[in-house]
Every structure is written in structure tokens, then in C-alpha cells.
Chains A and B, each alone.
Chain A
Amino acid sequence: MTKTGLAKTGMIDFRGVNKWFGSLNVLKDITLSVEPREVVVVCGPSGSGKSTLIRCVNGLEAIKNGDLVVDGQRLGDPATNMTQLRTEIGFVFQSFNLYPHKTALENVTLAPIHVRKIPRAEAEKAGRELLAKVGLADKVNAYPAQLSGGQQQRVAIARCLGMRPKIMLFDEPTSALDPEMISEVLDVMVAVAEEGMTMMVVTHEMGFARKVAQRVVFMDAGAIVESGTPDEFFSHPKTDRSRAFLSKILRH
């Protein structure tokens, strides 16, 4: 995984990363390394900086200082081609962000055809297979507006997988969904994780975390407060803040 000129790194390596929104220190001295094939769940109260954290990984947000190395390439380094790096990183949004003027299949094939330069026929074959994999073989020609939230999010995941990424980032992928649709999306995410994808997932779905995450990272006020295996974190939270947080989300 290492490339010339850089010390041995994980797939995603935060080293003393800071970020401000105006005078607000939204990421405070973050140090975190995600190994290849590792699944890391990030949780914490709203406004704790967890979305900002993963949005930095593909450069949707820029960091202020510290080092962030992704797939051996340092972000912000003039030698790093961000457009190229982003093709290796899938990003799943809370609000899906499917292209409304494109069918499900076109959503999946658009970037492979135009960015990866894969021949159309080949991209469409792969696209159909991916849509079948997320359980939407019969929705290939449907437009996003004709799909439920859960279906849209599954198309969005297939759209990322179509690029054959090395890393997948999920920003609260089930928060905008009706409760009965959450499991169909989580099932797809579990399947992706089990295939060995490197994943960072911002979510409060503790069942998902227990099932596939190697590590849970708890953030509060822009800093990583606690990090450990799901079992450690859920059964024996070490800090008052994580205990308070867990008691709130587990009460219902």
C-alpha cells in the first residue's frame, strides 16, 4: 500500500488534523488510521464533526493543518491529483443525491463511462449486475423520483461500487429513511463490508456496528473522545460523554 516518499501508512491516515469553520474548531487534532479492509463506525452527537471528518477524506472539505494521507497520497499536496483519487473513493450521502434526470442504470454507469472511460456496453453490463446485487434488478430503468428512499440509497451505493473504489465512505446513510427501509440499506452495506471494502461509516445503527465494524470511534465537539471495538464501546464505555451519548440513543 505504501508509495515512495511516505512512511508506511494505513488506507486512510489522519495525523494531527485540524479544521475550522470560521472561529469554530470543527476538527481538533484528529489522529486516526484506518487499515485496508477495515470497517470503522464513527458516531457522536450532532455537530460533533463526524460528517466533516469523512468529508475531508475525499476532499469535499479541506483540512487546515496536519496530514491526511489517503491510499498513499497526501491531500493538499500539489502532486496529488484529487480528481483521480476521488475515483478510488465512493461516497454515500444522507440525502442520496442521485441524478434525477438519469435512470437508475444511468446513475450507476455515468461516472464509469465518462470518468473511468469504460466502454458503454461493458459499463451497462456491470451496472445491471450491481443493481441486481442491491436487489433492484427490476428498477434498472426507473428514475429516482419513482423509487422509495431505501431503493434510492441502494442505487446510490451501486453507483459508488460501479467505480470499483478502494474505499467507501457513508455519511449517515440511513438517517433520512423511514424505519422499515433502514434494514434493506444496512443489508447491502453489510454485504459490501464482508467483501473486504475499506469503510468509514457515520451512523448510529449500533446493530450494524456490532455486526461488521472492527472499531467504533466516538466523537464529541470536534475531537475523538474514545475508540475501541464495538463490544468495548457499547458494553464498557470509558468516558462520561460516551456513556451519556449511549444512554440517549439506546433508551428507545
Chain B
Amino acid sequence: MLENFSFRTIVEYLPLFGQGLVTTVWLSALSFVGALIVGIVLCAMNLQRGWLFRAPAKAYIDAVRATPLLAQLYFLYFGLPRLGFVLPELVVGILALSLNSGAYIAEIIRAGILSIPRGQVEASVASGMTYVQRMRLVVLPQAFKVTIPPLLGQAIVLVKDSALLSLISVSELTRAGQLLASDRFMPAEGFLTIAAFYLLLYYGLKGLAGLSSRWLGTAGART
């Protein structure tokens, strides 16, 4: 069985995998930045007292979490042009991932902020800080540290979700595997190879998260 496994073909296709990997990395990175922006805006809306901002944010988050990413992607890819917005598939892909992940990130940030004990807010209120000052000086620096692990989890999910973009013919990593599978009828080689690359990305992200939490230091460990 193993004698049929062609390492030579994998090597032959390495440049294609390399290109796919690079595309996956930068489009995921871009999408993650987009998702952070979407998430922060949604979370800020969601933490307001009045329903005017909160209701649409909650509705959006629910809608995204309740529907498959594939359906969202297809809506943007096939649906938007019908409504008059024609965008390149790469842009559609990054948009879909940003809008999707943003909803989850909004909840992660909100949980981080709500995890800060009430006493912290009371202490800063009692010292005469304004809302903006207590967010900037007291709540967010502490919440940020709490959110790093779940944000890393979301980044990993985003990288894996980016595989769906192969379905709208973005030539990322999974697309490279599909090409090997269909050109040479070698699905085992094609998909095992991309699996190895995804694993590599996973460890890369974990290392990055480890560095960032060390950079933030052990200072201010919670009492």
C-alpha cells in the first residue's frame, strides 16, 4: 500500500504548495486583523446601555453564529453580484472570514471585559475616572491578557476555515491539495501534505501566542 505513496510527486508539487501556504498565511492574517476590527466595534456596541446599538450587534452575532460559514461565503460570492456588488474572489474571501470571525471575537472580548471584577470598576469610578479613562487604564489592559488564549483559538479556527475559500477558487493551501488530487489522482498525497502544512501553521500560531503572553510578562498576576 505504502509503495503507492509518491513522495516524488509531492516534491514535484512543492512550489504549488508553497504558493498556497503563503496565500493562506497572508489572507488569514489580513482576515484576522479585519475580524479584530469587526469584533471590537461589535463588542463596543454590545456593551452600550441603550438597545439602539446593542440590538443590531446582538442580532448580527446571533445570525453569524447560527449559520454555516459556507452559506455566508456563498451568499457573499454568489449573492452580492446579484445585488450589484462585484468583488474579486480574494476580497470576498477575506471579507467573509473577517465578518464571520469578528462575531466570535466580539464575544471573546466581551467575556474578557466582563471577567474583570466589579471592584476594579468601582475603584476607578470612586477615584473620579471617566468611562474612557477607566476602560483605557484599568479594564482593557487586564481584559487583554485574559483574551489572548481564546483569541489564539479563534485564529486557529480562522486559518482552518480559510480552506473553504478553495470553493470559490482562491488558490490557497487546500486548493493546492485539490489540484494534486485531481491532476494526478493522488488524494492521499495531496491532502496529507496540506494537513502537514496546517499543523505547521498551528504550531507557529501557538509559538506566537506564547511569545506575546511572555512579552506581557508575569507582572500583575491576579491576586
Which A residues are closer than 8 A to B by beta carbons?
58, 60, 83-84, 86-87, 89-91, 93, 95, 97-102, 110-111, 114-115, 143-145, 152, 159-160, 163
- Contact status B122-A114, CB under 8 Å: no
* Chain B hits for A163, CB < 8 A: 127-128
Q: Name the residue on A nearest B128 (C-beta).
A: A87
Interface string of B185-223 (1 = CB under 8 A from A): 000000000000000000000000000000000011111
Contact A93:B128 (CB < 8 A) given known A144-B223, A145-B222: no
> Can you give 6 contacting A-B residue pairs, CB < 8 Å?
A93-B122, A95-B119, A101-B141, A115-B129, A143-B219, A145-B220
Flag if A99 contacts B127 (CB, 8 Å). Answer: no
Chain A residue nearest in CB terms to B223: A145
Distance of A95 Cα from B123 Cα, bound (Å): 10
Query: Is the beta-carbon distance between A97 and B129 smaller than 8 angstroms?
Result: no
Give the contacts of B105-125 with A (CB-CB under 8 A).
117, 119-120, 122-125
Contact of A114 with B133 in the complex, beta carbons under 8 Å = yes
Question: Which among A90, A100, A152 is the interface contact of B221 at CB below 8 angstroms?
Answer: A100
- B31 interfacial by beta-carbon distance below 8 Å: no
Q: Determine the chain A residues whose CB is within 8 A of the CB of B120 once the complex forms.
A: 97, 99
* Top 4 closest pairs, chain A to chain B, by CB: A101-B220, A87-B128, A97-B119, A111-B127
Task: Give the contacting residue for B138; candidates A60, A90, A99, A143; CB below 8 A.
Answer: A99
When distances are taken between beta carbons in the complex, the residues of chain B under 8 Å from A93 are: 119, 122-123
Q: Tell whether, in the assembled complex, residue B221 and residue A143 are in contact, meaning their CB atoms are under 8 Å apart.
A: yes
Given contacts A97-B123, A101-B142, A115-B133, contact A86 B220 (CB under 8 A): no
Does B47 touch A at the CB level, under 8 Å? Answer: no
Residue on B nearest A101 in the bound complex, by CB: B220
Name B127's contact: one of A101, A144, A159 (CB within 8 Å).
Answer: A159
Q: A114-B133, A144-B223 are in contact. List 9 more A-B contacts (CB 8 A).
A: A91-B122, A93-B119, A95-B119, A97-B119, A99-B120, A100-B142, A111-B128, A115-B129, A143-B220
